[in-house]
Structure 1
Amino acid sequence: MSDAPLKSKQKRGALRRDALIQAAAALFWIKGYTGTSLADVAKASDVPLGNLYYYYKTKADLALGVANFFADETRALIESVSEEKTEPRARLKFLVERMRATQGKRLSYGCPIAAACRDFRETAPEASTRAGESFSLLIAFIAEELGKTGRKPSVALLKARHVIADWQGGIALAHGLQQPNVLAETYARMERTLAS
């Protein structure tokens, strides 16, 4: 007996799960976690609401799925930067370039990871913590690369935190003021900080 029907069903399930996560991530970012219903997510993903409950029993479960998506995307970013460049300073410069590529959406809606950390905290604390791991991953990567340039671990970690704090502050200020130059200045400052 062929297992092709089972594999096809599993593939459809994975596609639906991905569609739900993509839709939820976008809606939570744009409309906010509390402003988004499970019906909104089902509609945006073209997955019937009844089927959504097969994959995610609660909104908190869906929030955790989104937080896992953010952490996976951050890991993928770090891996692609590591594969693309070998020298630590080149990796850090390339990381900032990749972050800069998303500045348009961040100007419009702020940072989706920061929003998830904030919005999930009360009703989905596990998801909030998991979303925050994206920042931890970036800080650890930057600190490790700075360490390879001869920085003491404590100094490298401090500088890595400073860069991510500057990035998040730049996003918040640019979004609040609706001034793209604020974010452009932030990325330039991040590059200078990481190069020094």
Structure 2
Amino acid sequence: MSKRGDQKRQQLLAAAANRFWRHGYGSTSLADIAKDAGVPLGNVYYYFRTKQDIATGVADIFVAETQDMLEEVAEAEADPRRRVLGLLRRLSQSSRSRVDHGCPIALAVRDFRSEAPKASARAAESFELLTGFIGRELQRTGSRPSVALAKAREIVVEWQGGISLAHALGDATVLAESFRRAEQRLIQI
């Protein structure tokens, strides 16, 4: 695909990701995505055969962005606890949009499940990456693998639960409290 073609493909994926997040997968049409991307509807089929293919492309973006973020966090700090704290701080930078719209990855996992199950599973890999990273870092602090994994899941659940409740209530304080609890758990490990 040409450079321009790749740019159009990325525009379509960005528009789709935003639409899916704000309006839901089921409520988003290919025409909506094309309009938001500034691409004629007929051209969408040049880049994607189906809406499910677009969902998979969006899920691929989530995984790639998660991988990139984890690599940046790992490069920025050698201490395992500081790495996890750094990750929590990175995640907290998007708090306002999460309060307003929920977690785009969690929503994609849910919304894609019935019509695009492969895309749903692919989006869920972002959570596996986060949990795995935190678990490995906690093992480096001396925690047994099973304990580290349980603590890693606890941290991700705290974050995701905070997003859900903050979104439901429209209250950013709820999410800020979740991040503080997650940081406190790290100190106790």
Shorter-normalised TM range:
over 0.9
TM-score normalized with structure 2 length: 0.97
1:67 aligns with 2:59: yes
User: Is it true that 1:117 corresponds to 2:109 in the alignment?
Assistant: yes
**Aligned match for 2:180, one of 177, 188, 193:** 188
Q: For 1:56 and 1:104, how far apart are their aligned partners in 2? A: 32
What pairs up with 1:1-196 in 2 under 5 angstroms?
10-196=2-188
**Amino acid across the alignment from 2:149:** L
Gaps of 5+ in 2: none
Percent identity, please: 52
- Distance in 1 (CA, whole Å) between partners of 2:182 and 2:43 is 44
Using the alignment, how far apart are the partners of 2:172 and 2:52 within structure 1? 33
Equivalent residue letter for 2:21: W
Q: Give the Cα–Cα distance (whole angstroms) in 1 for the partners of residues 80 and 187 of structure 2.
A: 10
Cα shift readout 1:68-106 (whole Å, capped 9, x = no counterpart): 110111001101101111111111111000000000000
Deviation at 1:117, TM superposition (A): 0.5
Aligned pair count? 188
- Distance in structure 1 (CA, Å) of the matches to 2:129 and 2:88: 15
Aligned partners of 1:119, 1:31: CA distance in 2, in Å? 11
Structure 1: runs of 5+ lacking an equivalent? 1-8
Q: Deviations over 1:130-178 (max 9, x none)?
A: 0000000000000000000000000000000011111111100000011
Matched residue SS, 2:2: helix
Aligned letter for 2:115?
A: T
Residue type of the alignment partner of 2:142: G
Letter in 2 for 1:122: S
Offset at residue 195 of structure 1 (A)? 2.4
Largest Rg, 1 or 2: 1
Q: Which whole-Å deviations, capped at 9, do the CAs of 1:16-71 have from their partners, x for residues lacking one?
A: 11111111000000011011111111111112111111111100000000011101
Q: Which amino acid aligns with 1:156?
A: A
TM-score normalised over the length of structure 1: 0.94
Task: Specify the code of the residue in structure 1 equivalent to 2:19.
Answer: L
Question: 2: CA distance between counterparts of 1:186 and 1:80?
Answer: 23
Segments of 4+ moved more than 2 angstroms: none
